[in-house]
């Protein structure tokens, strides 16, 4: 029997459900299946089919907006109002993928410039890069996974996602939506791992064509160092999010916005305010003002 991960609500620790943990055989099956799809060009999904799948996925997510948001809020801990915004962003990401497919198709390379290129035409066309492996984060469990799955579907690359072990339900929802939208099951797979060594082995596998990571800088750079030669990657580590407050700033306007940016999602957002630089003449007022605003905030409510 498979080992299980208990998914609990961060707000009160309530048990939500159990999800089976993937083992080494599951990872190998996922990689082998995805790699076989990519290697067989006859199985590649044509662009009209991919566009239709993306459109249908957006329709399904829109129809289930509140249901998806409640699930993400329950397992991730954000207020429902913020989770609704997260779902909207994920849906918008699908539409962005469709727009990219409809407007990007390669480039024409200047030719007929000399005797060698006389009378010649050169151009590039995009092709799937290979198996995409994504490692996602907990703080936006629907939107972040959508940002990794939807582009892979758009370009016709088989994708394997490892969600955060604390928020696997939103990831499964994303995968299920694409399957229901018409994506053949093997083109999008989820593996739930609680073994860091196994996760590293999956990321470092030479069958991986592209690695997409959302999480801490330390883990991201470590995994990047393990990639097989030729594997490309995108690491999203967030930022340091500074705010500069000048001496003549309108603090009544600025402080609520800074407080919202700093305390939103309990600070667990990569774009949240992390540093505030103030002119020394107002530094004390800013510090005291932010403290008072923080004391007035209600746990479980939108800032």
Q: What percent of the chain has pLDDT over 90?
A: 82
Cα-only R_g, the chain? 22
Q: In whole angstroms, what is the distance from residue 196 CA to residue 242 CA?
A: 32
What local confidence, expressed as pLDDT, does residue 124 receive? 93
Angle (nearest 5°) at CA 61 between 9 and 237? 60
Angle (nearest 5°) at CA 164 between 161 and 168? 75
pTM above 0.75, yes or no: yes
Q: In whole angstroms, what is the distance from residue 203 CA to residue 222 CA?
A: 11
Q: pLDDT tens-digit profile of 224-237? A: 999 999 999 999 87
Q: In whole angstroms, what is the distance from residue 266 CA to residue 260 CA?
A: 10
Helix axes 168-180, 47-63, angle to 10 degrees: 130
Nearest one of 19, 14, 5, 62 to 172, comparing CA atoms:
19
Q: pLDDT tens-digit profile of 139-156? A: 899 999 999 999 999 999
Token readout for 104 is 């990007």
Q: In whole angstroms, what is the distance from residue 159 CA to residue 153 CA?
A: 8
What local confidence, expressed as pLDDT, does residue 245 receive? 95
Around Cβ 237, how many Cβ atoms within 10 Å?
14
What local confidence, expressed as pLDDT, does residue 301 receive? 53
Q: pLDDT tens-digit profile of 46-98? A: 999 999 999 999 999 999 999 999 999 999 988 898 899 999 999 999 999 99
Does 270 or 65 have the greater pLDDT score?
Answer: 65
Q: In whole angstroms, what is the distance from residue 52 CA to residue 190 CA?
A: 22
Average pLDDT estimate for 100-128? 93
Q: Which residues partner with 171 through β-bridges? A: none
For the chain, the average pLDDT equals 93
Token readout for 244 is 């500069």
Average pLDDT estimate for 128-146? 95
Average pLDDT estimate for 177-200? 96
**pLDDT grade, residue 303 (50/70/90)?**
very low
């Amino acid at each position: 029997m498979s080992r299980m991960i208990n998914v609990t609500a961060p707000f009160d620790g309530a048990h939500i459900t159990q999800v089976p943990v993937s083992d080494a055989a599951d990872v190998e099956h996922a990689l082998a299946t995805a790699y076989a799809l990519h290697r067989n060009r006859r199985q590649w999904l044509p662009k009209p089919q991919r566009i239709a799948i993306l459109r249908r996925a957006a329709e399904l997510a829109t129809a289930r907006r509140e249901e998806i948001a409640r699930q993400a809020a329950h397992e991730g801990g954000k207020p429902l109002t913020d989770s609704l915004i997260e779902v909207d962003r994920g849906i918008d990401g699908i539409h962005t993928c469709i727009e990219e497919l409809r407007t990007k198709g390669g480039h024409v390379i200047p030719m007929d410039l000399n005797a060698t290129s006389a009378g010649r035409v050169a151009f590039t066309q995009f092709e799937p890069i290979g198996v995409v492996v994504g490692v996602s984060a907990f703080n936006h469990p629907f939107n972040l996974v959508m940002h990794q799955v939807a582009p892979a579907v758009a370009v016709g690359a088989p994708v394997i996602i490892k969600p955060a072990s604390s928020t696997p339900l939103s990831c499964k929802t994303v995968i299920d939506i694409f399957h229901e939208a018409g994506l053949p099951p093997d083109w999008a797979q989820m593996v739930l791992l609680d073994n860091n060594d196994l996760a590293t082995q999956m990321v470092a596998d030479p069958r991986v064509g592209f690695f997409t990571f959302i999480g801490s800088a330390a883990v991201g750079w470590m995994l990047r160092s393990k990639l097989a030669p030729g594997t490309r990657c995108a690491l999203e580590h967030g930022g340091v999010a500074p705010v500069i407050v000048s001496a003549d700033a309108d603090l009544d306007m600025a402080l609520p916005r800074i407080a919202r940016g700093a305390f939103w999602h309990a600070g667990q957002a990569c774009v949240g305010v992390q540093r505030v630089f103030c002119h020394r003449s107002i530094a004390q007022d800013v510090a005291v003002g932010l403290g008072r605003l923080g004391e007035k905030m209600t746990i479980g409510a939108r800032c």
